[in-house]
Structures are given as C-alpha cells and as structure tokens.
Chains A and B, each alone.
Chain A
Amino acid sequence: MSLLRVEHLSVTLRNRPVLRDVSFDVEEGECVGLIGPNGAGKSTLMRAALGLVAHEGQSSIAVMRDADRARAAAWMPQMREIAWPVTVDTLVMLGRIPHMAGGQKPGAEDHARVDAAIAATGLEAFRQRTATRLSGGEQARVLIARALAQDTPLIVADEPVAGLDPAHQISTMETFAKLARDGRSVIVSLHDLGLAARHCTRLIILSEGRIAADGAPADVLTLDSLRDVFGITAYFRDTDQGPVFQPLSVI
C-alpha cells in the first residue's frame, strides 16, 4: 500500500523555483534516503509533501485533514528546537499529542509507545534529565524518539544524523531500517552517502529541484550521477559486510 504519493510537486519560494515537477511513491517497508547537494531542495520537498509549505501538484499527505495527517506522518525538522527545559520523558510524550484530545491525560498505550521510543533510541538513562541541558547529539536522539512516539506509518526526518557520533549515526539509521523491516516507512535526508548506501532500501537523488535518480542504492550511486550531481568521484563496492561507499575527490 502506498503511504505517500507525490505527483508533479512544484514549489516556488520568493519567485525562485525550488522544486520542479517531482513525483514519487513511498510504499510500506521502505527506508528512503533523500540525498543531494546543499540547496537541491531536500527540505522543501519533505515539507511540501507534508503540506507545511505552499505548493503546486499533489501530495497524498498534504491533502489530509490536520488531525489525520498527524497520524499518517511524523516530521522531524532539521532545526532541533526544544524551547523549554522539560524532561526527556515529557518531551517524548509530546509525540503523543496527535493521539490525545486536549486536556486528556496519557494512557497506557501512550506510555507504552514512549517507553518503546526511548528504548529504541537508547535513552533509558536520560528519561528524567532536562532535555535542554543535554548535548546536541543527545538532543537529536530525544527528538528522534519523539518522532517515533508519534507512532505513524511514515516518518519523515530532515538530517536526523547530522552532528551525531558514528555509533549513534549507525544506531539511528539501524532504527529506521528496522522500522522499514517491520512494515513502516521512513524518508530521511542525509549527506553521508555511505550511511545512505548501507541502511536505505532506496535512494532518491535530488538535484536543482528535480529528481535526478530514484532506485536501489547500487543503481543510483553511479559514477555518472556522483559526477553530475555531487561533482565528486567515489569508491563503491558491495562487500561481504555490505555495501561500502567512500567519496574520494572533488572533480
């Protein structure tokens, strides 16, 4: 079943076309890596698909009612904002807002989802800590846990691993990959092509507001596309320990 269907999506910001006629579908069980150089339109594509920015064309999630949309997709913006010194527990519980009526107290289901999200991100020891006093990487994990707690079929995350140490980069991507294996889907934008190649089931390369390539990592990360889109050469091999990708030099 299609969790997200994007058709002919175009976005113009301040008279500058940012996205041009982008179409793709996301099925259940996919971990889609959205890659592309700075300014290619990755964030805008994700925000437009979620209906957070004015656009032309269609997105199956953007047309939903607010409350339905909040149960269809969780969004983790690039800007990691935590305005108030709340505890990690409280912050992750914010992800349950779409499932609770105003003024309703969290129920057993809500607590279970929060527990699961905290376990998935390895934050058990931080539960009672104040979120704003954590390190940048820890905060990023808390916000990932928050998105997981929203318990939606689709998670859209804008550069969730930026600023994390290698171990947490890997475990975060593994979390997403596991969600995909369990039948949910993730769209994640990232700059680390190695992580994208290893953990994503599918990559979409965005270049100047258009989809330059869309498919399995091995099919998409070709020497041609790397040269044309990123302007780099790279080493890419399928090894016994999975795909290995290493950018080499700027062309």
Chain B
Amino acid sequence: MARPALWLSLLTVGLFVIALTLGPAQIGPFESLGALIVDDSSPLTMVMREIRLPRAILAVLVGASLGLSGAAMQGYLRNPLAEPGLIGVSGAAALGAVLAIQTGVAATVTLGLPLMALAGALIGVLLILALAGPRGSSLTLILAGIAISALSGALTSLVLNLSPNPFAASEIMFWMMGSLADRSMTHVWIALPFVLVGGGVLLSLGRGLDALTLGEDAASAMGIRLTRLRLVLVLGTACVIGATTAVAGAIGFVGLVVPHILRPLVGARPSRLLWASALGGAVMVLAADIAVRLILPERDLKLGVVTALVGAPLFLHLIYKTRSQLG
C-alpha cells in the first residue's frame, strides 16, 4: 500500500501546484503562488483564489470521486467495466442538475443543485443495480448502462431544448463531456460536503468488498451484511457523483481507467484499490485539465474529450478481453 499511495500523493500535489500556475494570463509561477498565499488585495490574488484555486480543488474532488466510485462499483459488481460515466449514473446526475437549473430549484433552494443531481444519480445507481445486479453479466451491465445513458441524455436534451433561454440548448455538450473552466469557490463549497461524506462512506466499504472477492455467499458467511453494504454503496456513489456532476458535468472513463491501471499495483485487493483509485482519479483529472489548457488554451475543450480519448481505447480492450464472458 505504502508505495503506490506515496507516489500518487506526491503526483497529486505536484499536478495541483502545476495546475495553479497554469492559465491564460501569463504570470510567473512564483508570483502567482505568492499572490495565492499572501492577500495583497490585488487582482492577481483574486484570480488565484477565485479562478485557479477552485479549478484545481474541483479537479481533485471530481477525480477522486470518479476514481473512488468506479473502484467501489467494480468491487461490488465484481466487474472491471463498471464505471459511473459508462453505466449512466453520471448522465442521470446531469439530468437532475439540469432539471434543478431549469426549474429554478438551483437558484431558490439551498443546495438544490447538488441535491437534485444526487437524486438523479441515486435513480441511476438503483436502476443499474436492479438491472445488472451482482449476478448480472458484463453484457447486462453494459446494455443497462447504454439504456440509462441514452435515456438520461435524451431527457437532458429535451429539458434544455424546452428552456426559454437560448444558451441552454447549446449546453448539452457541457453536461455530456464536463468542464472545470470558470468555476468558483461557490462550486467547491457546493460539492465538498457531499464528496467528503460520500467518499468517507465509500472508503469504509473496503472490508466488505474484499470479502466479496469470494462471492456473495462466502462474504455473507464471513459476517458481511450485504444489504447494508449495498445501501452504503448506492448512497455513497450517488453523493459523490451527484455533487461532482452538478458542478463539473459528466466526465467519463476516469472510473474505468484509474482502477484498471492501479489494480496490479495494489495486489488487486478491492480495499486497497479504493484509496489508490481516489488518489489516481485526482491525478488523472488534474492531468486532463492541465492538458485541455495546454492543447487548446483559447478554446473551451471539454474535459471528457480528453478522458474519453484515453479511456475509450482501454474500454474497447477490456471488452475484447472479456468477450468470451460477454458472448
């Protein structure tokens, strides 16, 4: 455990600092970090504290949430293809968020935005578990995921198209692909409590997920209460995915790529994979967000584009590897 955790932590910190020093305004790294720490009421401090810092913090929160929930769902379903984005949980959360914004709930109710997104994610997870529960094959899981993704995507488009606001219709791309551009500390405060609570309960699942390596029956006989585990998993996943999707849109493949890469490094133990994937997810999203700013700084390249370019080939590879099971 110690080795990968140490490396991933160092990598997270390193990328976090790089993310803070990167931006369209060309400012030296020391000057910008100085302005972040010392408040000289200059516009630079404002830029650092209200634009770059929240963006970097959100990258960590979003990445950790995606990595952690991916690892947890994979552990529970015992299927390496389970990933919140691919199986439609993020899409359902985005639908909840869009509904919150378009109905005005987001503006009138405190935490209305993350709570509605959480509700969407909850419905998504429940549907997935009902359709492709632990005994379901990869095929059922992927088919159920396609159905949920397509339905929530279509409903999101519908809601946006019905909006009286001319900009809303063009926002489907944000919700499907995700972005951290121009977020503020407000968004951090919206997401943070849910990520902490949801992340905390997901991390507590390690023991149960380890036992599930031997199947439900054996785990149950080892004293693992599966009903409780399932409930915690569903709520924890809904919390982290709902809150992060509400502020950053649906970002796919992070929960697939990160556990897949890290699994051999932690001896494939689901409990160790949880921690590692949370850190690894933060690393991946920080790196992806740095990439979108380096590749096309003047355009608003969506984060999900970069993660999909990395993740989709791996997804295809995994499908190829498990095709005997799929058939």
Q: Which residues of A contact B264 (CB under 8 A)?
A: 85
- Whether, in the assembled complex, A77 has its beta carbon less than 8 Å from a beta carbon of chain B, the answer is yes
| Contact residues on B (Cβ < 8 Å of other chain), bracket | 20 to 34
- CA–CA, A146 to B220, complex, Å? 15
**Residue in A47, A83, A87 whose beta carbon sits within 8 Å of that of B78 in the complex:** A83
In the complex the two chains form, is A66's CB within 8 Å of B269's CB? no
In the complex the two chains form, is B267's CB within 8 Å of A86's CB? yes
Q: Which residues of B contact A75 (CB under 8 A)?
A: 217-218, 221
- Whether, in the assembled complex, A98 has its beta carbon less than 8 Å from a beta carbon of chain B, the answer is yes
- Whether, in the assembled complex, A143 has its beta carbon less than 8 Å from a beta carbon of chain B, the answer is yes
Q: Which residues of B contact A82 (CB under 8 A)?
A: 213-214
CB interface residues, B 222-242, toward A, < 8 Å: 222-225
| Contact residues on A (Cβ < 8 Å of other chain), bracket | 20 to 34
Distance in Å: Cβ of B75 to nearest Cβ of chain A: 8
Distance in Å: Cβ of A248 to nearest Cβ of chain B: 36
In the complex the two chains form, is B213's CB within 8 Å of A97's CB? no
In the complex the two chains form, is A143's CB within 8 Å of B214's CB? yes
Q: Which residues of A contact B214 (CB under 8 A)?
A: 77, 81-83, 91, 94, 143, 146
A-B contact count (CB 8 A): 81
- CA–CA, A2 to B223, complex, Å? 21
CB interface residues, A 197-219, toward B, < 8 Å: none
- CA–CA, A150 to B224, complex, Å? 14
- Whether, in the assembled complex, A48 has its beta carbon less than 8 Å from a beta carbon of chain B, the answer is no
- Whether, in the assembled complex, A90 has its beta carbon less than 8 Å from a beta carbon of chain B, the answer is yes
In the complex the two chains form, is A86's CB within 8 Å of B213's CB? yes
CB interface residues, B 188-220, toward A, < 8 Å: 204, 206-207, 210-215, 217-218, 220
Instruction: Give chain A's interface residues, CB within 8 Å of chain B.
Output: 47, 50, 52, 66-67, 69-71, 73-77, 79, 81-87, 90-91, 94-95, 97-98, 100, 102-103, 143, 146, 150
Between A and B, 23 residue pairs with Cβ closer than 8 Å are: A52-B217, A66-B224, A69-B223, A70-B221, A73-B221, A74-B221, A77-B215, A77-B217, A77-B218, A82-B214, A83-B214, A83-B215, A84-B78, A86-B267, A86-B269, A91-B213, A94-B213, A94-B214, A97-B222, A102-B204, A102-B207, A143-B214, A146-B214
